């Protein structure tokens, strides 16, 4: 440990993502021992002093803060990790960039395109290292899909379709807003399932299949009013409960995306399928170690969908874990993102997706919102 270079982390936000990221920082050195850098859990911040102290004791942070600005101003922090709800991403990131800190920011990058543009401007001006936690890219099966596509095995791509389905907001008595339910409040979240769920699908899609050129979309808010936890009043719901869109990719393929929190029976079903001239690929988060692959060049009497168990040593990331045949889980995607970030400090390369790349996803989200409002096709402005 002593001969390793340190990356001193200041984590802001101790909810779901605060835990997944901290687990990543803690595990990475054990499973990626060759990395030159080691994360050090220097400080953690949340507004409730008692809760943040308990979190620090449980997870092993050296110190606590209750004001995120203190994290930014500390000389013993190298990297600021933003795990707050979306309404604080921009303010914290811009301040962190101005202070010369590296930034690891949760997704979606911002609540809207104008906000994410200010963040891109800030990191470009400061020249600080940055990444956005679109973590699904770092699951071995999804990375294998990327390698297969990049090898050209699919040939010309015709179709890309993705779903992200949940069912936790169907109850009309569920309140909106406040701790734990900020995703239901557009002022905090920016949008509903579009920014929360579809942004993941859009990030993966553009990484695998290139830029999305234009979109036509629809959104729906099924329950129009709910009690707001903070005001105690019944207020209009302004997030999208469901959002679907079709699109053209810049490579000429067609896309079909659907997301909802009203698909009874689904908790977090993220799936995608890509159909090419020569082969197809599909993946399902509920069976995340598997990639299904159909190759039209297979011998005709044996032709069919193969279910590849992506757990062999020559599969992405898997030589760092157990023995072939034993799977890994959701949390490993965050360990992998930490490992890739640390590696990028060694190589000087970027750790994708950067703010600039995540800003492309914001462009698509903005076009989806505009199209749903106007009922017409919208160009995204994503050119590559
Ligand atoms: N990558 C993924 O798959 C994934 C999954 C879930 C959430 N997210 C993203 O992560 C972020 C956090 O989501 P979550 O599910 O962890 O939320 P959460 O509600 O579980 O936790 C948010 C935390 O931030 C704290 N917080 C809020 N405002 C703060 C402030 N001003 N200063 C300090 N702390 C503050 C809250 O007290 C809480 O501890 C969101 O941007 C969300 O979209 C990403």
Same domain assignment for residues 99 and 245: no
Q: Give the Å distance between the CA of 84 and the centre of ligand 1.
A: 4
Concatenating the DSSP letter of every residue in 189-229 gives HSSSHIIIIIHHHHHHHHHHH--EEEEEEEEE-SS-EEEBT
Write the CB contacts of 78 (distance below 8 Å, at least 6 apart in sequence).
6, 7, 8, 9, 101, 102
Q: Give the Å distance between the CA of 88 and the centre of ligand 1.
A: 9
Give the confidence band of 384 by pLDDT, cuts at 50, 70, 90.
confident
Mean pLDDT along residues 272-300: 98
pTM of this structure: 0.98
Is residue 2 predicted with pLDDT exceeding 80?
no
Which of 135, 152, 168 terminates a domain? The answer is 135
CA distances from 193 to 198, 221, 359 (A): 6, 10, 18
Atom of ligand 1 nearest to the CA of 180: 19
Candidate of 80, 83, 270 to mutate for ligand 1, largest count of ligand atoms within 8 Å of Cβ? 83
CATH of the domain at 325: 3.30.360.10
Q: Model confidence over 310-346: pLDDT tens digits?
A: 999 999 999 999 999 999 999 999 999 999 999 999 9
Atom of ligand 1 nearest to the CA of 88: 31
Predicted confidence at residue 3, as pLDDT, reads 87
Q: Give the Å distance between the CA of 131 and the centre of ligand 1.
A: 16
Mean pLDDT along residues 73-100: 98
199 Cβ closer than 6 Å to some ligand 1 atom:
no
Same domain assignment for residues 189 and 326: yes
Report yes or no on 119 lying in a domain. yes
Mean pLDDT over each residue of the chain, to the nearest integer: 98
Q: Model confidence over 145-154: pLDDT tens digits?
A: 999 999 999 9
Predicted confidence at residue 198, as pLDDT, reads 98
Report yes or no on 54 lying in a domain. yes
Total number of domains constituting the chain:
2
State the residue range of the domain holding 272: 138-379
Same domain assignment for residues 121 and 263: no
Task: Report percent pLDDT > 90 for the chain.
Answer: 99
Same domain assignment for residues 9 and 68: yes
Candidate of 12, 13, 358 to mutate for ligand 1, largest count of ligand atoms within 8 Å of Cβ? 13
Predicted confidence at residue 195, as pLDDT, reads 98
Bridge partners for 379 per DSSP? 214
């Amino acid at each position: 440990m002593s001969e390793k270079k340190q990356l001193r982390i200041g984590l802001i936000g101790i909810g779901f993502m605060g835990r997944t990221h901290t687990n990543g920082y803690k595990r990475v050195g054990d499973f990626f021992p060759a990395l030159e850098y080691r994360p050090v859990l220097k400080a953690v911040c949340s507004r409730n002093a008692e809760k943040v102290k308990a979190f620090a004791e449980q997870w092993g942070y050296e110190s606590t803060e209750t004001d995120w600005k203190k994290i930014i101003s500390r000389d013993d922090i190298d990297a600021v990790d933003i795990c707050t709800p979306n309404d604080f991403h921009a303010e914290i990131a811009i301040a962190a960039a101005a202070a010369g800190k590296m930034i690891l920011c949760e997704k979606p990058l911002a609540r809207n395109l104008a906000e994410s543009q200010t963040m891109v401007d800030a990191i470009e001006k400061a020249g600080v290292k940055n990444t956005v936690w679109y973590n699904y890219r770092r699951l071995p099966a999804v990375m294998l899909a990327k390698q297969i596509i990049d090898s050209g095995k699919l040939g010309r791509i015709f179709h890309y379709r993705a779903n992200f389905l949940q069912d936790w907001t169907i109850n009309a008595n569920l309140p909106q807003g406040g701790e734990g339910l900020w995703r239901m409040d557009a002022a905090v979240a920016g949008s509903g399932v579009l920014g929360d769920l579809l942004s993941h699908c859009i990030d993966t899609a553009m990484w695998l299949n290139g830029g999305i050129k234009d979109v036509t979309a629809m959104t729906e808010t099924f329950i129009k009013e709910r009690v707001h936890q903070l005001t105690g009043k019944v207020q209009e719901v302004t997030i999208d409960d469901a959002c679907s869109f079709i699109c053209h990719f810049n490579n000429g393929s067609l896309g079909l995306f659907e997301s909802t929190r009203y698909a009874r029976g689904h908790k977090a079903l993220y799936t995608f399928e890509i159909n090419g001239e020569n082969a197809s690929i599909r993946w399902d988060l509920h069976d995340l170690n598997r990639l299904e692959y159909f190759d039209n060049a297979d011998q005709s009497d044996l032709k069919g969908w193969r279910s590849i168990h992506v757990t062999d040593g020559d599969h992405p990331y898997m030589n760092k874990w157990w023995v072939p045949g034993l799977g890994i889980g959701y949390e490993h995607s965050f360990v992998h993102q930490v490992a890739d970030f640390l590696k990028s400090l060694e190589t000087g390369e970027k750790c994708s997706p950067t703010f600039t790349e995540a800003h492309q996803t914001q462009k698509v989200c903005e076009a989806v919102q505009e199209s749903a409002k106007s009922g017409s096709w919208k160009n995204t402005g994503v050119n590559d």
